Amino acid sequence: MTVVMKSVALLLLVLGGSVALVDIEFERVGSVVVGENTTFTIHVTNLQNTANLMLRTKETGRIDVPSAVWLNASVDRVSYEITVRAYRAGTAYILFNSTNDDIENIVRDKQVEVVVSRYKALDVFGVVLGWIYFACWSISFYPQVILNFRRKSVVGLNFDYLAYNITGFLSYGLFNIGMFWIPVVKHEYKERHPAGVNPVQLNDVVFTLHAIFIITFTIFQCLIYERGKQKVSWVAKVIVGLAILFSTVTLIPAGVDKITWLDYLYYFSYIKLGSTLIKYIPQAYYNFARKSTSGWSIGNVLLDFSGGMFSIGQMFVLSYNHDDWKSLFGDLTKFGLGVFSIAFDCLFITQHYCLYRHPTKGYKAIDWDEEEEKKERKQTYQTFV
């Protein structure tokens, strides 16, 4: 077990002009299953006088710990092993007090976290689900890249979709990195959700960084391959510009402590959620206007659908196993990402396998251009007028 909390206090004892340094260390408790015991260790060094250490828990009925431990006076490092009994799933915290004022000053703001699971197997299953959806979503980018390469064309792939996608994943990347790696953000989240588990895992961070790379490569393909008359619409340019402006302006109150950094990162998660809500619409309409899904990889859709199902499944498994349903919505972006992806994937599957399964029978797939269609309609109208 690694040391995660270390308190150092000075006990000013006039002993020939020397100053004794008291060092108290608390080791983190590993995950424990309901009905089982676990332990954690308290290390005390340079304690001049015997003192008592009282233990209590924030939550009632979740875990049980000894009410008090006597700390023996010693200049050497002395370790005390504390047994914790788990009774109910969830996250519990052990708090400390002492009638000794010097010890109280050290431990009063310290706590030890204990994560209690219903079943160990479900913890493992949750991790497996996480890596499965990571694999599905990561691989889902490649069918489109391969299709573009084989055709030497990106006709059929809507550019507005790519603009929204790269904006969303850049925002989501900042959110995940902050939640997973930045200490001040993790601390703010823990204060806001004291009994919750950080919903961002390592596979979330790796997936996002990989997505940014492969989307950027797809955009590069759009620059070198045949693209017909496709371009990013002015609507998409305005929406992406507003997202960048919003993230820049809200940085100011975060920098002057008017809002927390956690709230600022949540703004990026909302940008990601918003991009997910709208990014599929241009592609779906593009398919409808062309009466074809040619150029739009169905492999991408099927893998994306699978990833969304596994992602939501993981969140429900972890929430149930830790009795922590609040954390299911603690990462609204992750939950919303899975739901909306599944909904649009169902639409694309319907377009590909039902509506436009045989585009050459009755309809011809064309390089559709909205501006050209408007011009043709105007010319037709002027002819009749």
pLDDT in tens, 61-100: 889 999 999 888 888 888 999 999 999 998 888 899 988 8
pLDDT bin (cut points 50, 70, 90) of residue 13 is very low
- Say whether both 79 and 189 belong to one domain: no
Say if 252 falls within a structural domain.
yes
- Say whether both 167 and 86 belong to one domain: no
- What count of Cα atoms within 13 Å lies in the side-chain half-sphere of residue 322? 24
Domain boundary among the residues 117, 149, 174 is at 117
Average pLDDT over every residue of 25-49: 86
- Say whether both 142 and 180 belong to one domain: yes
- Say whether both 89 and 139 belong to one domain: no
The better pLDDT of the pair 281, 276 is held by: 281
Instruction: Supply the pLDDT for residue 323.
Output: 86
No. of helices (H) and no. of strands (E), the chain: 12, 10
Distance (Å, rounded) from C-alpha 278 to C-alpha 343? Answer: 12
The four Cα atoms 55, 61, 64, 68 give a dihedral, to 10 degrees, of 30
Instruction: Supply the pLDDT for residue 251.
Output: 92
Encoded tokens for 308: 């969304």
Quick check: helix, strand or coil at residue 56?
Answer: strand
- Say whether both 35 and 135 belong to one domain: no
Distance (Å, rounded) from C-alpha 303 to C-alpha 29? Answer: 38
- Listed in sequence order, the residues at least 6 apart from 204 whose beta carbon sits closer than 8 Å to its beta carbon are 130, 134, 176, 180, 334
Say if 383 falls within a structural domain.
no
Quick check: helix, strand or coil at residue 45?
Answer: strand
Say if 382 falls within a structural domain.
no
- Say whether both 76 and 161 belong to one domain: no
- Say whether both 260 and 195 belong to one domain: yes
Segments forming the whole domain that contains residue 158: 120-372
Starting at the earlier edge strand, list the strands of the sheet with 18-27: 3-15, 18-27, 37-45, 78-86, 63-64
Q: How many domains does the chain have?
A: 2
pLDDT bin (cut points 50, 70, 90) of residue 378 is low
The four Cα atoms 144, 150, 153, 159 give a dihedral, to 10 degrees, of 10
pLDDT bin (cut points 50, 70, 90) of residue 196 is low
Encoded tokens for 266: 């949540």
Distance (Å, rounded) from C-alpha 159 to C-alpha 166? Answer: 11
Burial (CB < 10 A; 0-12, 13-18, 19+), residue 250, is middle
- Say whether both 145 and 113 belong to one domain: no
